[in-house]
Amino acid sequence: MEATAALPAWRANLATIAAMMARARNELVRVPGAAIPGVLAPTIFFLGLNGVFGALIQLSGFDANTYEAFIVPISMLQGAGFTGAAAGVNMARDIEQGWLDRLLVSPAPRWVLLAGTVLGASTRALLPATFVLAIALALGAGFPGLDGLFVTYAMVMAMAAVAACWGSFLALRFKTQSAAPLMQAGMMALILLTPAYAPLALLQGWLQDVADLNPVTEVVEAARQGFVGTVTWADTWPGLVAVAGLLALLGALALRELRRTGR
Amino acid sequence: MSSLATNIRVVRALGLRSIRQTFRRPQLIAPIIVFPTLLLAIQTGGAGGAVELPGFPPVQSFLQFMLAGAMMQALMLAGNSGGIALAVDIEMGFTDRLFAAPIPRFAIVLGRLAGTAALGLFAALWFLAIGLIFGAEIESGVPGALLAIFLVTTAAMAVGGIGAAIALRTGSASVVQGLFPLVLVVLFVSSAFFPVDLMIEPAKTIAEYNPLSLVVEGIREPIIAEIDAADTLYAVLAILGIVVFGLLLSARALRHRLRVG
């Protein structure tokens, strides 16, 4: 006890975050089935979309060599979205089972509890992303280069954090796992209302307008650049700004709900 | 009261219960309507340029082409959702009480399927309305729309039979829920979202032999062209095949459920 009390606040906070991340990791090891939907869904979407819409590459204006290369960043981001939403579902389960109440009476600040959940989701998102990428590379999507890979993974982890904030916000708001479809559908819409299936110029009118306004379009373009061309700072920084903005907004909403919880 | 009339009353009561259950729980209705509507909007907007590809069938718009795919997705999810609800009934002990009641066992399954069929009907009306609102025309007019509604409703019931069989066999809602990705797989390897001739191998070959492609084409034909007797017949035969398959599975699963309790 004395040793814990002697810990500086920042170290205690880091230890709490690490413990919550370890809990998320342990679930993967102890309940492997829990990770299957997050891995399976983006893989099915990747293989399915490629098999169904692969001929779109023949349209003039497509800026990729293969449809696999064009679509794989979307599937990786979808995996991140599902993983983040799953973090929200897990939080709702923790609320239903009373586990969150126990966390709330601990001396850990609320933002630390949220950070542990969000960073846990970011780390877990690496699993579906790597699985889908391996399949895509095996099917002929070109290697995006180390810089391209780095940017794609950074965007995947950031989107998982965004999705976890969204999921946590809804979990804290509705306090039930029944909100799961809303968590998943929200992220699915955010990621697919972008140039997901075709370049911006080839989208139909309304979707082009929505994609223009959707900040995740910048995330998609940043994640995709290594697969369809070369990585540039000009295509990277808008993605970073977009995820930072989304994290700030959804993180603030989730934190506000967490602060209200139990009061 | 004759036994037939009693059975009809039981099926009606259980069917109404399953419809109310679905509309009261957003988590059951959301996958049936929200996901297919979302995908319809996104795929229509994202892949709409596909109609310019050589070999694409003549259609008014990609939305018109995609309506059948969205209905197919919704009816498959309705069947899955019905299976989940039946499995929840088993987990909660409600089905045991029905088994102990003086009603025929098939009425329990049929009641659930009546609810699934109603959801299929709702999905068909929903997507036809969406199509009409956003400018898609039903080329064969009211008869074509009625045919599409009939095929979607009966196909939902047929697919629901398979969902019910799995629910009866496993008695686990999470197992039936786990079939959701499989629904997507089966749909992707059919002509639900794209013409078979333009699909990439191996999806193309699988789609050619997938009976769901026959159902989709039966629903799509009256929307994008005139009613085609051959396409309609193939769709009806495919639905009948699924019904027989579902009935056989359900009968076996019901025997198993009564044996293990």
Prediction ipTM score: 0.70
* Structural domain boundaries in chain B: 3-260
Vertex A70 angle, CA A64 and A73, to 5°: 145
pLDDT score for A130: 94
Q: How far is residue B195's CA from residue B214's CA, in Å, rounded to a whole number? A: 12
Q: Pick A204's closest partner by Cβ from B35, B39, B45.
A: B45
Q: How far is residue A155's CA from residue A94's CA, in Å, rounded to a whole number? A: 28
Q: How far is residue A235's CA from residue A222's CA, in Å, rounded to a whole number? A: 6
Q: Which two tokens stand for residue A141?
A: 């999507």
From the CA of B261, how many Å to the nearest CA of chain A? 27
Instruction: Give the best-scoring range by mean pLDDT among A29-38, B196-205, B209-218.
Output: B209-218
Residue A123 three-state SS: helix
Quote the distance between the C-alpha of residue B137 and its chain's center: 23
Q: How far is residue B199's CA from residue A147's CA, in Å, rounded to a whole number? A: 33
The average confidence (pLDDT) of chain A is 87
Mean pLDDT of A45-65: 82
From the CA of A197, how many Å to the nearest CA of chain B? 5
Q: Which of B34, B38, B42, B198 to mutate to test the interface with A (most CBs of A within 10 A)?
A: B42
pLDDT tens digit sequence for B62-118: 899 999 999 999 998 888 888 887 887 887 888 878 787 777 777 778 888 888 888
Q: How far apart are the first and last CA of chain B?
A: 30
Q: Chain A partners of B202 at a C-beta cutoff of 8 Å?
A: 51
Q: Is A234 exposed, middle or buried (0-12, 13-18, 19+ CB in 10 A)?
A: exposed
* Structural domain boundaries in chain A: 2-260
Q: Chain A partners of B188 at a C-beta cutoff of 8 Å?
A: 44, 47-49, 51-52
pLDDT exceeds cutoff 50 at A54:
yes
Burial B27-49 (b: 16+ CB within 10 A, else e): bbbbbbbbbbbbbbbbbbbbbbb
Reference B160, options B126, B210, B122, B119; nearest CA is: B119
Mean pLDDT of B127-151: 91
Distances (CA, A) of B23 to A181, A186, B209: 15, 20, 35
- Counting DSSP H helices and E strands in chain A, the numbers are 12, 0
pLDDT score for B215: 92
pLDDT score for B59: 87
Nearest CA in chain B to A44: B185
Q: Chain A partners of B184 at a C-beta cutoff of 8 Å?
A: 41, 44-45, 48
pLDDT score for B27: 63
Give residue A209's identity as a one-letter amino acid code: D
Q: Chain A partners of B47 at a C-beta cutoff of 8 Å?
A: 53, 56, 197-198
From the CA of B63, how many Å to the nearest CA of chain A? 11
pLDDT exceeds cutoff 50 at A205:
yes
User: Is B26 in Cβ contact with A207 (below 8 Å)?
Assistant: no
Q: Is A198 exposed, middle or buried (0-12, 13-18, 19+ CB in 10 A)?
A: buried
Q: Chain B partners of A58 at a C-beta cutoff of 8 Å?
A: 53
Give me the residue label for tokens 């099926």. Answer: B11
pLDDT score for B1: 57
Q: How far is residue B190's CA from residue B212's CA, in Å, rounded to a whole number? A: 6
Instruction: Give the best-scoring range by mean pLDDT among A24-38, A56-70, A141-155.
Output: A141-155
pLDDT score for A22: 87
Nearest CA in chain B to A209: B45
Q: Is A213 exposed, middle or buried (0-12, 13-18, 19+ CB in 10 A)?
A: exposed
Q: Chain B partners of A208 at a C-beta cutoff of 8 Å?
A: 45
The average confidence (pLDDT) of chain B is 85
User: Is A41 in Cβ contact with B181 (below 8 Å)?
Assistant: yes
Q: Would you say A22 and A116 are in contact if contact means Cβ atoms under 8 Å apart?
A: no
User: Which A residues, 45 through 74, put their C-beta within 8 Å of a C-beta on chain B?
Assistant: 45, 47-56, 58-59, 67
Taking the Cβ of residue A192 and every Cβ of chain B, the question of whether any pair is shorter than 8 Å is answered with yes
User: Is A52 in Cβ contact with B46 (below 8 Å)?
Assistant: no
Q: Which residues of B touch A (CB under 8 A)?
A: 25-27, 30-31, 34-35, 38-39, 41-50, 52-53, 62, 178, 180-181, 184-185, 187-189, 193-194, 198-200, 202-204
Q: Chain B partners of A196 at a C-beta cutoff of 8 Å?
A: 42, 46
Q: Which residue has the higher pLDDT, B232 or B187?
A: B232
Show Cβ contacts of residue B243 under 8 Å, excluding neighbours closer than 6 positions. Answer: B157, B158, B161
Q: Pick B194's closest partner by Cβ from A53, A192, A204.
A: A53
From the CA of A188, how many Å to the nearest CA of chain B? 9
pLDDT score for B53: 83
Give residue A217's pLDDT band: very low, low, confident or very high (50, 70, 90): very high
Q: How far is residue A162's CA from residue A87's CA, in Å, rounded to a whole number? A: 11
Q: Chain B partners of A40 at a C-beta cutoff of 8 Å?
A: 181
pLDDT score for A119: 93
Q: How far is residue A85's CA from residue A46's CA, in Å, rounded to a whole number? A: 19
From the CA of A201, how many Å to the nearest CA of chain B? 10
Q: What crossing angle do the helices spanning A67-97 and A110-124 adopt, rounded to 10°?
A: 140
Q: Which residue has the higher pLDDT, A161 or B34?
A: A161
CB atoms under 10 Å from CB of A230, counted, come to 11
pLDDT tens digit sequence for B26-60: 666 777 888 889 889 888 888 888 888 888 888 88
Give residue A1's pLDDT band: very low, low, confident or very high (50, 70, 90): very low
